[in-house]
Amino acid sequence: MKFLCDTNILSELARPAPNAGVLAWAEDVREIAVSVVTVEEVFYGLALRPNVRVEAWFEDFLFRYCRLLEITPSIARFTGDLRGRLAARDKTRTQADMLIAATAVIHGLTLVTRNTKDFTGCEVALLNPFTSH
């Protein structure tokens, strides 16, 4: 396992016609990691805008392809430190994004996301498959 997927990647894969770059990237990947923060974000979105098809897809995808990564004390500590250092330089970031970034760093994973600007300067390896086609 080499990749931690951000919420926007899972959302894209659940679309009826996903982006070609995301599909090409996903074609060679057999297992990915997903933060429990991403699980929360997906279910928040589904509660806000229910979609039976997407919910069924997501449940199946989690079961078949994903390793769920929980927030550990070392992830929480790294997150707090990272957010504090960034905030001291007037680069405020969301707690959710920093928890996801810290999860990738602690587990030595590349964060796959469309929103690379949200993670710039976060000491995490990034991959944007939207630009890879």
Q: State pLDDT tens for residues 16-37.
A: 999 999 999 999 898 899 999 9
Q: State pLDDT tens for residues 29-60.
A: 988 999 999 999 999 999 999 999 999 999 99
Q: What is the mean pLDDT of residues 99-112?
A: 98
Phi, psi of 89 (to 5 degrees): -105, 20
Nearest Cα to Cα of residue 43 among 23, 65, 59 = 59
Q: Is the pLDDT of residue 133 over 60?
A: no
Contacts with 113 (C-beta within 8 Å, 6 or more apart), sequence order: 5, 6, 8, 9, 119, 126, 127, 128
How many separate domains does the chain show? Answer: 1
For the chain, the C-alpha Rg in angstroms (whole number) is: 15
**H-state helical runs in the chain:** 7-13, 20-27, 36-48, 52-65, 73-88, 95-107
Q: What CATH number should be reported for the domain holding residue 114?
A: 3.40.50.1010
Model pTM score = 0.93
Domain range holding 111? 3-131
- What is the CB-side half-sphere exposure of residue 64 using CA atoms within 13 A? 8
Q: State pLDDT tens for residues 73-90.
A: 999 999 999 999 999 999
